[in-house]
């Protein structure tokens, strides 16, 4: 009779067959992007595969990310966080990766917390969400309030509770995520993905993670705690209206890079680090 396999061993075995990378969307992030990249490269599970998507920055974001060891993808103009995530996911999928851990470039998510998401579930098709304790981390009160509002409305719309709908530290199954057909190009992309994932029956796992909020004069954020939550709720309502409710949210075919925003996509520049540790690259 074969010996039973310990659950922990099952996760390890599954990870051995899962190609994992990190995607860091970045805009005007020269202050922190180098450190975030270097720390991500130290996470063994990522095996040196770190993609920074420079979303039209006018500062040294791309230069410092490249110098730190990342593969840099550049938008010629600022398109939004959702567009940056989509660019990174399309590129990673075309490069042969199965799963991507997304890490914000502002330094609030310690990249070593990516390991917690990687090891949280053995299913490569699961969507894994990082869950922050904003109060304990000392997050500004407006951020806490906006997060509660977004959590309330999205949980209401999907019919199940979510503890943190705005955290940028997530583990995405690449092919499944892109097939959901999310449309938003800004911060609402992440909420829209949740809505469509629930409708498509994607397994969603929530994992507590550590977050760092530096002193107010050192914080870098492009998230407006009033405007952006309103946009998120509007996108969720629009998605529900277009699809006539959660049960009818379609899982669209995986969009081809050439078919998405032709003018912008054709101008995306991939600056590839030629080190052997980097994956074989292809046009996003």
Element (H, E) at 72: strand 71-75
pTM for this model (two decimals):
0.77
How much is the pLDDT for 134?
76
Nearest Cα residue to 108 out of 140, 80, 77: 140
In the chain, what is the straight-line distance between the N-terminal and C-terminal CA atoms, in Å? 48
pLDDT in tens, 34-72: 999 999 999 999 989 999 999 999 999 999 999 999 999
Q: What stretches in the chain show pLDDT beneath 70?
A: 1-16, 137-138, 214-284
**266-281 pLDDT, tens digit each:** 344 455 443 333 333 3
Q: What is the pLDDT of residue 240?
A: 58
Listed in sequence order, the residues at least 6 apart from 34 whose beta carbon sits closer than 8 Å to its beta carbon are: 64, 65, 67, 68
Between helix 227-243 and helix 141-158 the angle, nearest 10°, is 10
The pLDDT value given to residue 253: 43
Question: Given this model, what pLDDT does residue 60 score?
Answer: 97
Separation of alpha carbons 16 and 12, rounded Å: 6
Question: From CA 185, how far away is CA 263, in angstroms rounded?
Answer: 15
């Amino acid at each position: 009779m074969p010996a039973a396999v310990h659950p922990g061993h099952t996760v390890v075995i599954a990870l051995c067959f899962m190609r994992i990378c990190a995607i860091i969307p970045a805009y005007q992030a020269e202050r922190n992007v180098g450190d975030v990249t270097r720390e991500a490269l130290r996470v063994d599970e990522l095996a040196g595969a770190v993609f920074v998507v420079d979303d039209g920055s006018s500062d040294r974001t791309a230069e410092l990310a490249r110098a730190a060891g990342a593969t840099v993808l550049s938008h010629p103009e600022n398109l939004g966080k959702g567009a940056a995530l989509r660019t990174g996911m399309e590129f990673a999928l075309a490069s042969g990766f199965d799963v991507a851990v997304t890490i914000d470039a502002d330094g609030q998510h310690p990249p070593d917390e990516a390991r917690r998401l990687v090891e949280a579930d053995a299913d490569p098709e699961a969507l894994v969400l990082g869950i922050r304790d904003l109060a304990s981390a000392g997050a500004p009160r407006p951020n806490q309030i906006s997060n509660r509002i977004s959590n309330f409305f999205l949980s209401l719309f999907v019919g199940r509770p979510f503890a943190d709908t705005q955290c940028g530290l997530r583990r995405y199954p690449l092919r499944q995520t892109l097939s959901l057909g999310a449309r938003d190009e800004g911060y609402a992309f992440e909420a829209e993905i949740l809505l469509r994932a629930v409708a498509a029956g994607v397994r969603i796992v929530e994992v507590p993670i550590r977050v760092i909020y530096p002193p107010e004069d050192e914080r870098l954020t492009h998230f407006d705690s009033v405007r952006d939550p309103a946009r998120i709720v509007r996108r969720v309502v629009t998605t529900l209206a277009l699809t006539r409710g959660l049960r009818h949210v379609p899982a669209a075919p995986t969009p081809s890079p050439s078919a998405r925003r032709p003018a912008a996509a054709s101008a995306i520049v991939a600056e590839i680090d030629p080190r052997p540790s980097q994956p074989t690259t292809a046009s996003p």
